[in-house]
Structure 1
Amino acid sequence: MKDFKNKVAAITGAGSGMGRSLAVLLAARGCHVALSDINEKGLAETVKLLDGTGVKVTSQKLDVADKDAVFAWADKVAGDHGKVNLIFNNAGVALGSVVDGGGYDDFEWIMNINFWGVVHGTKAFLPYLKDAGDGHIINTSSLFGLIAVPSQSAYNASKFAVRGFTEALREELDLQKVGVSATSVHPGGIKTNIAKAARMDQSISKIGMDASSTAKFEKLFRTTADEAAAQMLRAVEKNQRRLLIGADAKVLDLVVRIFPSGYQKLIAMGSSRMK
């Protein structure tokens, strides 16, 4: 896909962060957008930003963990816009917890949004993308879909799952030759609200961490949501299989490639210094 003009893009998590930036950048390039978020206030603010852009904008409050709601939204988007070319499965949440301390409720919560939300969005929109004959699925994993870190076992699990799901999907689409492709996106530290809004379980004290550890990591974030969104659109244009966003993502990806298992000792040492 080399041109976004007059295409139709559906975006989850469009009420803030990268989702909002994607909506603004796509609209500026003449792409009609269907936006969703569980946060109605943030969603309305994004819609307002698109006033006067000349593209069709629709919006829907949506919990991506609700399979039936996601499928209903996909049907509505196709009905309202006449077609769908892109789905950005961008909505996500974060959780800090250790394996022997966190509850099952939190684990299910993050998996239902981060992983199953991506699965629902992909399966709901894929038939419409195939019908359009010119489509792309962009699934947001994370740097933590490439590298594991203490206190992030549930988040790691969800993002590693997105990576595996998307890479297999891309291979299947290549074989089917249906005019649809897929990209797995791995942002490093992006200046959004996801870290601030993360659930932090007190069990992380078992490894000498506390809620302030998140704030320390946030100070290292350098990439803006706008920069990340722009890179995502370029990845679609280049039909990239994987997109690493930020110097941190690129450096740590290289570390994992050089030290496939040994990196764990390095991460543990680095984490102890962040206490």
Structure 2
Amino acid sequence: MQSLAGKNVLITGAGRGIGRETAKALAAEGCRIGLLSRSEGPLHETERLVAEAGVPSASAAADVADEADVKEAVRKLEEELGSFDILINNAGIGRKGDFMELSADDWQKVLQTNVMGIVHVTQAVLPGMQKKQRGDIINISSMSGLKGTRGSSAYSASKFAVIGLGEALMQEVRHDNIRVSTLTPSLVETDMTRPGEERQPDKFMQPEDLAEYMVAALKLEQRTFIKTAALWGTNPF
């Protein structure tokens, strides 16, 4: 088991939910935390929570769907923290509706954020990992990336793409001692999945559950990694 202390981490979608809980968990392990999100208010709150762990952190507001935005944000964060050892591609959006109800704009927004967002951020961070000849990239897909469901055609298409992207990238960069993992969780109770509803932590998986898993996976010796992991709620009925 390897220590994570002193490693530089970049987390997208860090303003709330899975991103925030992952930032807190990795800060508790002694990591230096880079935070990226579109929304400045929630982003600053995450940074405040990370600071309680007493580790260096930095944040940048950027839309992962915008390549220029991403390049500038990563440049700024690397100036403050150094190149990244770990990347958590968590940012994502959803659009519900039957196939004929979704507009071309809906499709573009989902695919640009959920797929091209990973492309933009990873292309900005990967050269630093290749220079170090080690690193970790975790892409968060979804159960919807394994099985399409009614009303989720755009979201499912994007999450299927994330799995294929991760699989191909893994085959390329494992020669650089870089581990690429993909998570396909079932419903995680967040503001995106259950907006405005009372939380039911005894029924649904929580963001901190994914964070706990990621910390454990990252601690594996660099010679070993878990390529894909399907995390499911035990009894969400």
Q: For 1:51-103, what per-residue CA distance to the aligned partner results, in whole angstroms no more than 9, with x for missing partners?
A: 24221110011100001111222222222112210111101111112222211
Match of 1:36?
36
Match of 2:3?
3
Deviation at 1:118, TM superposition (A): 0.8
Partner of 1:95, secondary structure, is coil
Matched, 1:243 2:221: no
Match of 1:107?
107
Q: Give the alignment's Cα RMSD to 1 decimal.
A: 2.3
User: For residue 122 of structure 1, what is the amino acid of its counterpart?
Assistant: T
Sort the Cα spacing of 1:136 and 1:219 in 2 relative to 1 into closer, same or farther, 3 A.
closer
Partner of 1:240, secondary structure, is coil
Match of 1:97?
97
1:166 and 1:120 map into 2 onto residues whose CA distance is 14
Counterparts of 1:96-245 in structure 2 under 5 Å? 96-174=96-174, 177-196=175-194, 222-238=204-220, 239-245=225-231
User: For residue 36 of structure 2, what is the amino acid of its counterpart?
Assistant: S
1:129 and 1:221 map into 2 onto residues whose CA distance is 39
Deviation at 1:134, TM superposition (A): 2.5
Deviation at 1:248, TM superposition (A): 6.3
Deviation at 1:123, TM superposition (A): 1.1
8 Å Cα contact 1:64/1:120 also seen in 2? yes
2:76 and 2:130 map into 1 onto residues whose CA distance is 17
Sort the Cα spacing of 1:234 and 1:219 in 2 relative to 1 into closer, same or farther, 3 A.
closer
Of Structure 1 and Structure 2, the greater helix share is in 1
Match of 1:203?
none
Q: For 1:159-178, what per-residue CA distance to the aligned partner results, in whole angstroms no more than 9, with x for missing partners?
A: 0000000011111122xx21
Partner of 2:14, secondary structure, is coil
Partner of 2:100, secondary structure, is coil
Counterparts of 1:5-84 in structure 2 under 5 Å? 5-84=5-84
Partner of 2:51, secondary structure, is coil
8 Å Cα contact 1:188/1:248 also seen in 2? no
Q: What TM-score do the two structures reach when normalised by structure 1? A: 0.78
Deviation at 1:233, TM superposition (A): 2.0
8 Å Cα contact 1:138/1:184 also seen in 2? yes
8 Å Cα contact 2:59/2:77 also seen in 1? no
User: For residue 102 of structure 2, what is the amino acid of its counterpart?
Assistant: G
Q: For 1:11-57, what per-residue CA distance to the aligned partner results, in whole angstroms no more than 9, with x for missing partners?
A: 00111011001110111110000001111111111111122422111
1:184 and 1:102 map into 2 onto residues whose CA distance is 27
Match of 1:267?
none
8 Å Cα contact 2:138/2:183 also seen in 1? yes
User: For residue 30 of structure 1, what is the amino acid of its counterpart?
Assistant: G
User: For residue 84 of structure 1, what is the amino acid of its counterpart?
Assistant: F
Sort the Cα spacing of 1:219 and 1:103 in 2 relative to 1 into closer, same or farther, 3 A.
farther
8 Å Cα contact 1:139/1:162 also seen in 2? yes
1:162 and 1:78 map into 2 onto residues whose CA distance is 25
Sort the Cα spacing of 1:95 and 1:44 in 2 relative to 1 into closer, same or farther, 3 A.
same
Larger Rg: 1
Q: For 1:154-211, what per-residue CA distance to the aligned partner results, in whole angstroms no more than 9, with x for missing partners?
A: 000000000000011111122xx212110011111111111245xxxxxxxxxxxxxx
1:95 and 1:70 map into 2 onto residues whose CA distance is 23
1:237 and 1:182 map into 2 onto residues whose CA distance is 14
Q: For 1:200-242, what per-residue CA distance to the aligned partner results, in whole angstroms no more than 9, with x for missing partners?
A: xxxxxxxxxxxxxx97xx9995111111111122223341100
Q: Which 4+ residue blocks in structure 1 deviate beyond 4 angstroms?
A: 218-221
